[in-house]
Structure 1
Amino acid sequence: MKKSFNKKLCLAAAALTLTAGVSVGSAMAYFTTYATTSGGAAISLGSTTVIPQEEVVGMEKRISVKNTGDYECFVRVKVFAGDKYQPGLVFTPDEAGTWSQGDDGYYYCSEIIPPGGVSETFRVKIDTMDSEDDFNVIVIQECTAVLYDEKGNPYADWTRIADSSEESYQGEGGGE
């Protein structure tokens, strides 16, 4: 009887060992499995703009904005001329009436600029200085993607600016 009991005990121990071995294998696989990766990819927002033309005639700067991105966009421009000349900046809208001056100091273009398209040209003049003075007019432009409301009407959300860049121009007198 003792031999039968020992035999049963050995078989039970062997079964327990096999069961534990099978379970530990899958648990070890869980703790030791890993994956690595490397590399990268360029991400493009698709909407970028540049100021293709800033022509200066006398004390007047003529500004237009080009969409160099892949998507339609709205643009706005801010012009700085230093504290001494900033109050003397005079905005002249374009002939088509697409540019307007906002209350926040930006000039807004109401037309949608398609990829590769250029906005109408508007003018900003400094009328509080002599043409002999040096000046440096700074133009900052921003764009945002065209969004559509539930009725399909396009609008601009200026809290989601897609691109902003800065260009400066030295005036006729030389400047910095």
Structure 2
Amino acid sequence: MGSGELAMRIAYFDAFAGLSGDMILGALLDAGLEEEVLRRGLAQLPLEGYEVEVASVQRGGIGATQVRVHVAADPTPRHLRDIEALLERSPLPEAVRQRSLSAFRLLAEAEARVHRTTPDRIHFHEVGAVDAIVDIVGAMIGLEQWQVERVYASPLPMGRGWV
């Protein structure tokens, strides 16, 4: 790049088959995120009762990295304030913590709109579960390692149905 030119690091997810936290972690590992960096980062969470399994798999004749988060038990629904407190007391890098907080706040706002309430009244079921916290924080660890400034994704495939 010549002088005066701007550069920005981006991540682009091709969501041709949908997108999930586990799929994002697998894609980041496939793209070069070191598994040990991910594990060390996640170990900074004040969170217990989970295990991250990483395996090489074949899907439709294509090699991929599969990530699964196994949770011993997670019966407690969490409110946004619980997740904020958990992240704020962690020694995660500031950028990882702030991006993770932003992601959960966006989810709380979306859930609040759907349920016609306020973000502070939302309690996360699946989203607040340990596996979602691991997925979101793990993704932010990978994005921060590469100093990614913006994340983009293709449109999600839309099914159809009747209710």
- Same topology, TM > 0.5: no
Q: Which has the higher strand share?
A: 1
Q: Which has the higher helix share?
A: 2
TM-score by length of 2: 0.31
TM-score by length of 1: 0.29
